[in-house]
Amino acid sequence: MKPLAAHGGKIAFVVIVAVALVLLPWTTAPDFTLPTMLGSLQLTGGHSREEAREIVNRMHDKSVSPDENLIGNYRSPEGEATLYVSLYGEPSAAAKDFRRMLLLIQPGGPVFRDFQQMSVAGKEVAFCRGLGQWHYFFARGNALYWLAADEPVAEMAILHLLESPPRRS
């Protein structure tokens, strides 16, 4: 039988894996909150977690969203907007779904048109029109954002969103 010191590497590995498994839920579900304002638009309500996930999946007629989602409804006298945020365990997963969305929306179709990719406030953003609103979507960190806004408030809302750091509760 080997002395305990000879098993040091294996023991350290087991301890590291055990700690990682305990901490994993904390790293994959960050405490993220929606901005209370998008320029002149004020957060008036929304949906969080499971309810938001169900809404996003229902909009797509299939399961497309990760477990953590938020939806915020914004309003001002000039217009309204809805912000959808899907939170992923890794930034690479958010970026992958962003690229997938680009491929699906870029050709246009019955719902979305006038697709463009652009740089807004130094960040890669996709834009399209549809359903009577302007739509912007982008990935930042482990989050995928979709902003649907009335035309009069759309540019102001996306600029404010991109210039504001993500909020943690």
Q: How high is the pLDDT of residue 12?
A: 38
| Residue 48 · residue 70 · CB < 8 Å | yes
Q: Measured between alpha carbons, how far is 166 from 137 in angstroms, rounded to an integer?
A: 15
Per-residue three-class SS string for the chain: CCCHHHHHHHHHHHHHHHHHHHHHHHHHCCCEECCCEECCEEEEEEEEHHHHHHHHHHHHCCCCCCCEEEEEEEEECCEEEEEEEEECCCHHHHHHHHHHHHHHHCCCCCCCEEEEEEEECCEEEEEEEECCEEEEEEEECCEEEEEEECHHHHHHHHHHHHHCCCEEC
Banded model confidence at residue 58, pLDDT cuts 50, 70, 90: low
**Domain 31-168 in CATH 1.10.10.60:** no
Predicted TM-score of the model (pTM)? 0.75
Q: Which of 57-66, 85-94, 96-105 has the lowest mean pLDDT?
A: 57-66
**Which of 83, 82, 86 lies closest to 54 in space, CA to CA?**
86
The full set of domain ranges for the chain reads 1-30, 31-168
